A = this chain, B = another copy of it.
Amino acid sequence: MNVTGHTRPGDQASPAQKPRKAASIRDVAQAAGVSYQTVSRVINQHPNVRGETRERVEAAIQTLGFRRNATAFALASGVTRSVTVLTSNTTLYGYAATLQGLEEEARAAGYSLGVKVLTPEADLGRTVSSAAADGGGLMIIGFDQLGAAALSRVPADLPCAAVVEAPPHGRTPPRPAVWADDREAARLATAYLLELGHRTVHYVAIPTSTGARRSAGPRAQGWRKALVAAGITPPELRGGKGWDVQAGYDEGRRLAADADVTAVLCGNDDLALGVLRALHHAGRQVPGDVSVIGFDDAPHSGFLTPSLTTVRMDFQGLGRDAFGLLRRQLESDYEPPAPTFEGTDLVVRESSARADIR
């Protein structure tokens, strides 16, 4: 069944309003009978302006609809107060929430925010320099290969901060960065499943920022660590190719076919939803037959049936804190506040249960 909608160009007839050149500081000055210098003082709230003069200028500003040209301001003053976010994605929950945290913080600090989406086709070097040319700071969401590659290409003299995957032990990212301790969170989630009596735990991975070495992702490492600590040989790592529900479904079908599988940890909630659906299609009950745990606690996860046990991540906190790291590079007198990142949190819901309750 097809229900078609339509698009209508609004008011096509009216031609684009003739872009009558915007009023400049000089136009205002002339209208107010002062020098353009005085206009500059008024719009910058300088104290040394006579009340009556100020009023005349403000009236002229109103009349002419004057708006200060932000480009000229930036060039002349040298202050930019802008930040460009480089990210490979804007809609996946983790990315969108990080972006939201960044945006809030930037807005509160009076920074304007630009977004450049990284794609495999685009020349990363060119993308980075065009972002740099826009002035201001660079903010990189480096959860994946594209983001990590962009981060490694940022010239050293550019103000830049990032949100990244937890780096390997003893290593630090090339630039100031924040990250959550995904490794420990995955270890605890896995340990929790083992405590529930499951003989082993399977893991459906998200792609990692290091690319080829799928096994190197921090969430995978934490999962493996918990198994090894319990004397269990980790089963083959699954997934690692996609972030979305369909990818989870595809892996879920394979897992569902294996009757020995009773516990599955997933790299994010979308993968978990796909696994849930595949298990349902295969006639396997959750949590009766199989326990499933996700990662991230996306907004809908608590309302699924069964509701999803998952590791809550404070992406907005990561975004906020990363912005603080950038701001410190941009404003010499800026004191970064205490980190706002709330850590991770295993949220137990209906999709996980003891292995023996079936």
> Contact residues of A with B, CB < 8 Å?
1-12, 16-17, 19-20, 22, 65, 67-72, 74-75, 80, 90-91, 93, 96-97, 99-100, 103-104, 107, 112-117, 129-130, 132-135, 155-157, 159, 162, 172-173, 175-182, 184-185, 188-189, 192, 244-245, 249, 270, 273-274, 276-277, 280, 299-300, 302-305, 307, 311, 313, 317-318, 321, 325, 328-329, 339, 341, 343-346, 348
Contacts and interface: CB of A to CB of B under 8 A. Distances in A.
A157 B100 contact: no
Contacts of A162: 10
A89 B99 CA distance: 11
B133 A10 contact: no
A113 B115 contact: yes
20 contacts: A1-B346, A1-B348, A3-B311, A5-B185, A5-B313, A6-B180, A7-B318, A8-B179, A10-B176, A17-B156, A22-B157, A67-B132, A70-B130, A71-B71, A90-B99, A91-B93, A91-B97, A107-B117, A113-B115, A300-B300
A270 B65 CA distance: 42
A107 B116 CA distance: 8
A65 B132 CA distance: 12
A329 B14 CA distance: 11
Contacts of A133: 67-70
Number of copies: 2
A136 B165 CA distance: 35
Given A100-B90, A107-B117, A181-B6, A157 B344 contact: no
A90 to B, nearest CB: 6
